[in-house]
Each structure stands twice: as C-alpha cells, then as structure tokens.
Amino acid sequence: MSSQAELDKLIRSDYEAGFVSAIESDTLPPGLNEDVVRFISQKKGEPEWLLEWRLEAYRKWQAMRLPAWAHIKHPPLDFNEVSYYSAPKSMADGPKSLDEVDPELLRTYEKLGIPLHEQEMLAGVAVDAVFDSVSVGTTFRAKLLEAGVIFCPISEAVHEYPELVKKYLGSVVPQGDNFYAALNSAVFSDGSFVYIPKGVRCPMELSTYFRINEAKTGQFERTLIVADEGSYVSYLEGCTAPVRDENQLHAAVVELVALPGAQIKYSTVQNWYPGDAEGKGGIYNFVTKRGVCHDNAKISWTQVETGSAITWKYPSVVLRGDNAVGEFYSVALTRNKQQADTGTKMIHLGKNTRSTIISKGISAGGSSNAYRGLVRISPRAENARNFTQCDSLLLGDQCGAHTFPYIESRNPSAMVEHEATTSKVSDDQLFLCRSRGIDPEKAVSMIVNGFCKEVFKELPMEFAVEAGKLLEVSLEGAVG
Amino acid sequence: MLDIRNLRATVAGEEILKGLNLSVKPGEVHAIMGPNGSGKSTLTNVLSGRDGYAITGGEALFEGRDLAELEPEERAHAGLFLAFQYPVEIPGVSNLEFLKASLEATRKAQGKEPWDAVTLLRHARETCKQVDLDPQFLKRGVNEGFSGGEKKRNEIMQMLLLQPKLALLDETDSGLDIDALQVVARGVNSLRSPERAIVLVTHYQRLLDYIVPDYVHVLANGRILKSGGKELALELEQRGYGWLTGEEEASA
C-alpha cells in the first residue's frame, strides 16, 4: 500500500465522544429577541444590573455584522434557528449536591472519562461540568474554599459574589468587542467563575468540562477567572459534543484577570464533534478568549484543538503592566473538511513586557488550517520582546496551511522575531520508521507528536497524556 | 539466506534492474560495487520495500519468503536491516523514543520478551559507546542536527541494537573521515557471525580494507557483471569499471 493510502486510512477515524444522552430537557424554542434575553435572565433569577447589561449587549449585537475576514467558509448562519437555552429537566429545582444529580448525567460524564464523584476523581483536579446551558456539578468546592479559592458556576457567583462579578465581568472582553462576544454577552447561560485570593497558590488544578447534548442548541458559556495579587492558578478546559448532522453553534467568552504578580495558566483540549468525512455536521466554534496582565503578572494559554467543523479563536493577552509576560502555545489539528483559523494577539502596553508564541498547525485530508496572529507594541512599551514561531505540518496533498502574522511595532527599542516553517510528513521519514519495524500508524503518530513536543511540554501532566492520545485517535487516523 | 533470481525492477517507469542474480548465505559478507547509476541504491531500496520501486520480474527471497509480499516493517521483523545512505531527520522524536518503538515492535513480532525501560536504556547506552556516540545523543531528535558522520554512526547503532540477520549497508562509508570509517567498520565487524550476513554497497575499495568481504560483485547497467573474491575490489581500484562495462575508451 502506498504511504498516501496509509495516511488516508489513518486520517479517517471515528469520533469517540459522539453519543447522545437520553436526558429530558427544558429547551427554549429557536429564535432570538429581547424576550429571550429576559427569559434567560429571569430563569437564573438575575439582578436588574445584569439584565440591563445583557440587553445592552443584545442591542450592540443587533447593530453588528458577521465578521468576514477569517480564512473559513460556511453557509450563512441563521441565528433564529438556534435555541439559546437548554437545561436538563432534573436541574430545574437545582440539586443541592452531587448526590442529587441525575444518574444519567453522571453516566454521561463517566463515559467521557470525567467521573464527578469526588472519591473517584483524579486527586488534585476539581471539575465544573457544564451540560448544554447549565453547570451540573462542581467538585471539591468545600476544600477549595478552605484556601479561600472560589470555584463555582458563574450563575451562582452572580448571587454569592456580586461585587466581584460586577467589577470584572466584561472588563477584559467588553459586550461590544466583536460579533460573537456581543451575542455571548446577551445570552450566556453558564460557565465557571474562579477567584484566587492574594498570595494564594491554588491547591489543585481547576477544570471545566463542557458538553453540548441537546440538538439545535447553541452553547454560550462565559468563564471569568480573577487571580488576585501574587496568586497562581492552573485551569483546564475540555469539550465534546454528540455526532449530529446539523451544525451546532458554540460561542464562548473567557476573561482572565491577572492582577500584579499573579500567574494564570489556562489549558484547553478542544474536541468538539468535527463533522463527518464529507463535512456534514460538526460544531461551529467561535470563541473569544482574552486575558489582562498587570505589573509582573503572567498569562499562559496552551491549547490543543482537534475538534469542531470550524474553529475561530484567538486567545490573547493584553500586557498592560510593566514586566508582564504573555505566552501562547497551540496545536491545531484539522482533517477531513475541518477549517481552523486560530492564533493569538499579544498587545504590549507596559515596559519590558515579553511574549512568546509557539503555534503548530497539522493539516490532513481536505482540511484548511490557518494561523493568524497579531503582535502589537505600543509607543510606551519600552524594551518589549516577542518571539513567534509558526510551524505547519501537512499530511497528504489535499490540505492547506496558511500563516497570517501581523506585526505593529511603534517603539524602536522593541524586538520582534518571527519564524515560520511548513513541512510534510515525508515518505522518507515514514520509510525510515517502517524499515525499523514500526507500523505506519504508530510512525505517523510518533512524527506528529514530535512535531508538537514544544507545546505538549507546556500542558499539565495528565492533560499532556490525554492530548497525545487524542492526537493518536484523531490520526487513526492520522497522528500521535 | 538471500536469493535474488533474475530480478527486474523499475523506478518511475524506467527499468533499472535488468535481470540481477545474487545469492547470499549465512556468515557471508558481500560487497557490491559499481559506477554511478548502475542500480546499487535501487537494489537496496527494492529489497527493503521503499515506495516507488516496482518489481517487474524475477524474485527476491529472504529465507525462502518472497520479499515482494512483505511490507517494509514486516521485512524488518523478519530480520532485514537497511542502513541508509542519507538518514532523514525526525524533529522532536528522541532517539530513545524511536529505538523504543522500533525494538518494541520488532521484538514483539519476533516473539521475544519486551525490554523494560531500564534494560533498553542500558543496551542503548552501551551501544552508543560502541560507535563512539555520547549517550546524550539518545535524548536528541532522530538525526536532528547530526553531522554526516554522526548520522551514519547512528544507523550502525540501530543495527547493533536490532541484531538483524541480514544487514544491507547503502554507501555507509560515503562522507566519513578515516576515524569515523574505522568506528563504523568496527561496529559492522562485531555483527559478523555464522548466522548473519552482510551486504555492503559501496563506491570505494577503502571500506573493504576494514570490512573484508568474502565476495565482491560488480553491478553495472542493472546486472552483476563480474563476481570474485576480495582481490577483485583491488583490481577495480586500479583499473576502474571501464574494462568491465566496455566503456574503457570513453571514460579514459
């Protein structure tokens, strides 16, 4: 068999998280208007200020147009065909603890390898599980509170910590930031809220696991993480969805605030359903992620993106304070008809700010994979430094890789470096492996893992293993 | 062990091997020499199963098994080893990882006990020393940033770890200085045994001063033109290939 045929076979593997859970849901009929926004707000018993905030976002959104600059193609989106709220029925009265959660829900997460019973959990990882529009359970909350760490659904934080939410919500990604962020601000249903007090090193990894189940439902979660002065937190995010023929919309917003001297490490393994081999179905993933770094603070984004029919996301860092550090490490794998336009923005405002961007794009099948990045050095960002490295790996000859780096430097003392490479898994590499007894599947997996090594080493241990396995499955295929 | 009968092979539609015969028995060392473009590399590529090399006639049997029916990895499992003329780089995959994958797959296919991590590391380190490579090399990417000589020694290291029955060395001496040549020769000689065979493909007699062959063959225009003992290599060194290929006048 030719190595191209081997690759083709490898690239066509199945999506393992594609099952549907039989759970009764309260789902809002499709369509979006002010009443829907009011309904969501009322359903959550929100205070007046938040309803006003949502309505303001909705009005801004109505005046905005769908962005058209990304290197992606999709049929026109009808935002009135989407349902903006879905919650498992059993959640209507709100479970008081994990023991009261619908067993079918718990089984769903177990099937995905995310047991929500604390005693069965990996020691050292607290999980918030978000199912369609609501958080269904958060583990280890009591233990975290002992350290002063707040980790809860944002819908609860609105009631329990209104000052914090009011102060920081929209402070990094304002309602009118962009089309999808405005939409999210109007209709966001749930998500996670994290607050790490001054000087506290969060005693365990925090993680949120997002699952879309209901058909024709959009997921619009909102995550807000505030790390107070000198604190540290590592946060993990995972995502899956059932196999469905129609496209589903996911438009999340993540805001990170790193106050002076704080460090936030945010890792994502995104494995939304990517659609089938012909490009039918799959998640449209339009996500806005941004962090603000104050003096001496550090924000590090690490992402492994293997899912979604379309990925449109640019986790960014605004280096507002002096000596702030921003990092972006990314592996984006596309195959079949997947399209990814992803990258980052590093906005250098403070003096001596530093940023590092390492992006690894892997394209297989008939997919398209674009890196889009902006490095902006403002006039007062003395001695700012950026290093960018974008590498693309092509598997086969039907796929595309593109790099769109934008550099705007307005300070002569700044140093900005950019390196870019494109390579193919060559027949020679594959042949070397095979003539040493390694089968083609393992060989491709090994070569791709090697290509991604610089990014994987930034992931927390368990996640790095998971990411490696995920690549292997996605490349089964195609890579490992 | 290796029986090649009237082998014909094409590359990109062009016939390169035109009825080649060669028989290699266990314990023997054969050298195949010949001018550029004579089909030497095609022969090693056909035997190891590289894409794009099609057998169009005859057969190549390894211990009675038709090589054409085996995938490259199956040939490796059967005990065939090719030392590459130009070993490629695999960035980010450490030598140790690569050796682990190779040995795991090969030992499993051969029904041998797998090596645990400690055993693997011990063997790998010892073998590094044997070919004068710093054990730090195990941590570096496969051939990544290696010099020409280091790449060749790395091939020999892999060969020594895999202990093949039949080793094909494709111009392993090219680009080596005399010290590296001796290191490589020492490695190859240590593999010599009554159960194993070695086929050296080379341009120059020089390598054969260190790895003394039992037989020397001249390959030209896709066929073995002449076979002899080690003294044939010396004669070729003095007289060139022209007197055999009938191009003496032209090349003189």
Distance CA B195, CA B185 (A): 19
What token pair was written down for B48? 């190891």
Query: Any idea what the Cα angle at residue B192 is, between residues B186 and B194, rounded to 5°?
Result: 165
What token pair was written down for A18? 């594609």
pLDDT score for B161: 93
Nearest to A344 by CA among A405, A427, A415, A409: A405
CB atoms within 10 A of CB A94: 9
CB atoms within 10 A of CB A12: 16
Contact predicate B139/B124, CB 8 Å:
no
Residue given tokens 């934008």 in the structure block = A406
Residues with pLDDT less than 70, chain B = 246-252
Q: Which of A72-81, A417-426, B189-198 has the highest mean pLDDT?
A: B189-198
Q: CB-CB: which of B48, B90, B102 is closest to A450? A: B90
- The gap between the terminal CA atoms of chain B, to the nearest Å, is 39
Distance CA A298, CA A227 (A): 10
Q: CB-CB: which of A432, A446, A449 is closest to B88? A: A432
Residue given tokens 């070569």 in the structure block = A447
Domain positions in chain B are: 2-90+164-251
Q: CB-CB: which of A432, A434, A442 is closest to B87? A: A432
CB atoms within 10 A of CB A245: 10
- Structure-derived torsion over alpha carbons of residues B239, B240, B242, B248, reported in degrees to the nearest 10: -60
Crossing angle of helices B117-130 and B178-191, rounded to 10°: 130
Nearest to B176 by CA among B199, B158, B198, B202: B202
pLDDT score for A477: 46
Q: Could you name the CATH architecture of B2-90+164-251?
A: 3-Layer(aba) Sandwich (3.40)
Distance CA B52, CA B185 (A): 31
Q: Which residues of chain A make contact with B87, given a CB cutoff of 8 A? A: 432
Mean predicted confidence (pLDDT) in A109-120: 54
Distance CA A51, CA A48 (A): 5
- Name the residue of chain A whose CA is nearest to B108's CA: A437
What token pair was written down for B226? 């002449």
Report the share of chain A in percent with pLDDT over 70: 78
Confidence of residue A184 (pLDDT cuts 50, 70, 90): very high
Q: Which residues of chain A make contact with B92, given a CB cutoff of 8 A? A: 449-454
Distance CA A342, CA A356 (A): 16
- pLDDT by residue (tens digit) across A207-247? 887 766 665 667 888 999 999 999 999 998 876 656 666 67
pLDDT score for A448: 86
Nearest to B81 by CA among B210, B201, B198, B208: B198
b/e burial code for range B166-195 (CB count within 10 A of at least 16 → b): bbbbbbbbeebeeebbebbbebbeebeeee
Mean predicted confidence (pLDDT) in A156-184: 94
Query: What pTM was estimated for this model as a whole?
Result: 0.79
Three-state DSSP state, A210: strand
Calculate the CA B100 to chain-centre distance.
21
- pLDDT by residue (tens digit) across A355-387? 999 999 888 888 888 899 999 999 999 999 999
Measured between CB atoms, does A419 come within 8 Å of chain B? no
Measured between CB atoms, does A15 come within 8 Å of chain B? no
Q: Which residues of chain B make contact with A443, given a CB cutoff of 8 A? A: 101
Report the share of chain B in percent with pLDDT over 90: 62
Three-state DSSP state, B231: helix
Measured between CB atoms, does A449 come within 8 Å of chain B? yes
pLDDT score for A91: 53
Measured between CB atoms, does B151 come within 8 Å of chain A? no
Measured between CB atoms, does A439 come within 8 Å of chain B? yes
Q: Nearest CA to CA, how far is A277 from chain B (Å)?
A: 27
- Cβ–Cβ of A437/B97 closer than 8 Å? no
Q: How many CB pairs under 8 A join A and B?
A: 81
pLDDT score for A112: 58
- pLDDT by residue (tens digit) across A78-108? 888 888 877 766 555 444 555 555 666 666 6
A434 pLDDT above the threshold of 70: yes
A32 pLDDT above the threshold of 80: yes
pLDDT score for B247: 59
Q: Which residues of chain B make contact with A446, given a CB cutoff of 8 A? A: 90, 93, 97-98, 101
Confidence of residue A438 (pLDDT cuts 50, 70, 90): very high
Residue given tokens 């191009």 in the structure block = B247
